[in-house]
Structures are given as C-alpha cells and as structure tokens.
Structure 1
Amino acid sequence: MNKICQVLDFDADVLLFNKDTYIVSRFKELISENFSQKFRTPLREHHGDFSVSGLFKRLCINEVNFQVEDITWQSSTEGINCQVFRVGSTGWQSGKLRIKASTEIISPLMQKEAGKLNITVVLEFYPDNPNEPESPLDDIRKMIQAEAT
C-alpha cells in the first residue's frame, strides 16, 4: 500500500467493493450504526452493564481505575480493496481503503439523554496509482500551458 492518503470527506463520492456500491455518506452511516449497535449490545446475561462501553468504563489495572473516554478503531494496515469515483472525475480510481472509527464512551445516563453514542468515522483512501492524473485532460492542459509560456 502506498503512503499517499486521501481522506474521503465529500459525501457524494462513490465507493465500489467488488459489486457493492455506496455513497461515502451512507457507508460512514452504516459503520457508525454498526459500532453503535455493538457498543450497546450486552455481552453476557448478568446484572449490570456488560456492553463493550460498560466494560471500558470499568477498566482497572492493579487497583488503578482508568477513565476511558475515547477509543479509536481502525481497519487493518493492508487496507480493503476498493475503487472510488469522485464527483467531477472521469472514472474510477482503484486503491485501498482504511477505516478509522473514533468512539466516545458516554455514561449510561448521558446515553439515554443523547439517544446514541458519539462515533466519528474517517475513510482514508490510498490510490494504487497516486501520480495518475484525475482527468485525462490534465496532461493536455499542462502541455498547452507549457507552450503558452
């Protein structure tokens, strides 16, 4: 995977995974909903809060209690094969996608008031050919500009 990262922050861009397509905003929404569901789902049938967020709130090592407020999760460093179609471009760009989701651990009382966890999703795209022009016309424009000077 190359080191050039492009953050996909334009919600109308399109992602293609094999045969499945998503607009960026919907893909982020699905990730956020999935994390929210997993953080609220009880892990065991006992009394008390045994959800993922509940377990992190009770993190204790050698009698030292830790206040865990933020956690960042990310997909593997290899990335996920995908293609991106940016609004205004002329075609698909292939590369790898890394997903980072930051979760804010909120107390159960605040969760009831807020209605959901605070989850931020960032999509990082690593193009296979980072030096490839976004438009085939870019090369022609550069030639015309070079001739004019």
Structure 2
Amino acid sequence: MNEKFTPLECDDDVILLEKDSFMVSRLKELIEEEIRNKLQQHIYEYTSLYPGVSMLEFLSKLSIGQKKINLKEIQHNYVTECQLLKVGGHCWQKGKLKIQICTSSVTPYHNQLYLEFCPEQPVEHDFILDEICKIVQSDK
C-alpha cells in the first residue's frame, strides 16, 4: 500500500480525533504546547530526591561506550487515525494524520511542526467540473 501524505496547509480545515475536533491552527498550538511542556519536565533519579535533567537534555545526549554524542536535533513522528473536513468540503474524509516534530536542543523553545494527511480512499477527481471551469475561464 502506497500511502501519500499531503501537508495540511489550510489552518481553517478541521481534524476529528476520536470525539474531539480541532481547526488545524488550534491543533498545531495544542501539540506545540504539549511537546514544550513534556520536554521541560525533569527526570528524577531513583537514588535522589532532587530533579535531574530535563527530558530535552536527557534525550539530546547519547553515551555509547566511552563516546559521548550530543544531538542537536531530535525528530518525533506520530501517525494516528483521524477524519478531515476541508473548508468548502461536503463531508468528513477518513484517513491518517502524520505529526512530525523537530526539536532542537540548541534552541529548545523553537520546535518545527508539520501536519500531513493521507486519505483512506483517494479523492475521486470530477473531470466534468474541470471542463466547466475551463469553459467559464475562457469566456472571461
């Protein structure tokens, strides 16, 4: 199965996740806020009562044997079932939502967020409407 995800560029489109619906712009805000909050949380060492490093610091450093590697960028990818209602659309379209987040340990409060949608069934293109549009455009 060849899944074709396309970017959700219209902030006024609506995403339905289970029973909750969000405009794309609001969903982006909520995801960014949630990621920021989670990355700021501190990890507690079981041997100490004091908080350790933040999640972002914890995830940005790897120790492989004697080698210490500092990661400048961490990417998170999530895919979940959803429905999409496009502005001007007539019905909900079932499919998958891909959420891609790129977190920088250099600039921790500047995450890059991308939302993409893949329809369960491809949208059938109405070629008759295209022909009508061409006729209308040529009459102008």
Report the TM range for the smaller structure's normalisation. 0.7 to 0.9
- Pick from 48, 53, 57 the counterpart of residue 50 of structure 1: 53
- Residue 24 of structure 1 and its aligned partner are, at CA, apart by 0.6
- Residue 142 of structure 1 and its aligned partner are, at CA, apart by 4.5
- Residue 89 of structure 1 and its aligned partner are, at CA, apart by 2.5
- Residue 57 of structure 1 and its aligned partner are, at CA, apart by 4.0
CA deviations over 1:38-66 (Å, ceiling 9, x no partner): 11111116557511112134422222221
- Pick from 114, 123, 129 the counterpart of residue 115 of structure 2: 123
Matched, 1:64 2:67: yes
Q: Is the 8 A contact 2:40 2:56 kept in 1?
A: yes
Normalized per residue, the structure richer in strand is 2
CA deviations over 1:83-104 (Å, ceiling 9, x no partner): 1111232322111112111111
1:88–1:131 Cα change, 3 Å: closer
1:6–1:132 Cα change, 3 Å: same
CA deviations over 1:61-80 (Å, ceiling 9, x no partner): 222221211111111xxx32
Q: Is the 8 A contact 2:60 2:73 kept in 1?
A: no
Higher relative contact order (CA 8 A, sep 6+): 1
Q: For structure 1, which runs of at least 5 residues remain unmatched after alignment?
A: 112-116
CA distance in 2: counterparts of 1:42 and 1:130, whole angstroms = 44
- Residue 18 of structure 1 and its aligned partner are, at CA, apart by 2.7
Identity within the alignment, %: 33
- Residue 27 of structure 1 and its aligned partner are, at CA, apart by 0.7
Amino acid at match of 2:72: E
What's the TM-score once normalised by structure 1's chain length?
0.74
- Residue 2 of structure 1 and its aligned partner are, at CA, apart by 4.6
Q: 1:50 is paired with a residue of what secondary structure?
A: strand
Q: For structure 2, which runs of at least 5 residues remain unmatched after alignment?
A: 134-140
Residue 114 of structure 1 is matched in structure 2 by none
